[in-house]
Amino acid sequence: MATAALISSPALAASNFQDQWDAWDAEVTPPGYDPATTNPWGLNPRLLPTRVEARPGLVPGDIHVDAIARYLYHIMPDGTAMRYGVAIGRGGLYEPGTYTVGRKAKWPRWTPTPQMIAREPEIYAKFAGGVEPGPTNALGSRALYLYLGDRDTYLRIHGTPVPRSIGSRASSGCVRMVMPHINELYDQVQLGVTAYLYPAEEGNKVSSA
């Protein structure tokens, strides 16, 4: 048998990945999906994607997270913003700050941080070797990786296999979104944009809605 027949080409491997990603996307997206109305997750309707007027002076492309209302805003070039419901870190695990989107990934692999394992070994120790991508992976279908300069903070804006947590303080520090919602957001976000995670006491700095 020819040796070449035993070796997958990079193009074939990429095609296989894309086929799997497409299958998973179909699995987590409800039939007839309409961002503004589809809600099999039982979310409060205010947490569904909505276009709102943005305050003047905000930079198109940037992301703003309102920790009080549990909203993420993505600023559009026309002075509007797409608003999505999110979940944020529980207790003192939410880390407000100004970050840069330094990496993006479709159907990412997930490994709990050493801090997560030390804090709750009964939950996370069994995942120390990492979890393969898929609809039950904790990062869900897409992830935006938040950096400070060149340093990965291990904070993410990501999909979740637990959509009913949206609107609450539920995560270990990351910002969670419904998977079809972050799939839409992911395609619009460019590397290098700024993500503002506001302190819980500061409220809405982005929109009048």
- Single pTM value for the model: 0.87
Contacts of 112 (CB under 8 A, 6+ apart): 124, 127, 128, 172
Residue whose structure tokens are 């869900």: 140
Q: Using the predicted structure, report yes or no on whether residue 3 has a pLDDT greater than 60.
A: no
**pLDDT of res. 4:** 46
Cα gap 25→183, rounded to integer Å: 8
CATH class of 10-197: mainly beta
Residue 190 CA to residue 184 CA, distance in Å, equals 13
- Cβ proximity of 63 and 72 under 8 Å: yes
User: Contact, 181 vs 163, CB < 8 A?
Assistant: no
**Model confidence pLDDT, tens digit, residues 106-130:** 999 988 788 888 888 887 787 777 7
Mean pLDDT of the chain: 89
Instruction: Report residue 175 as tokens.
Output: 């910002």
**Both tokens assigned to 6:** 């035993």
Per-residue pLDDT tens for 49-64? 999 999 999 999 999 9
Between the CA of residue 25 and those of 16, 140, 184, what are the distances in Å? Answer: 14, 10, 11
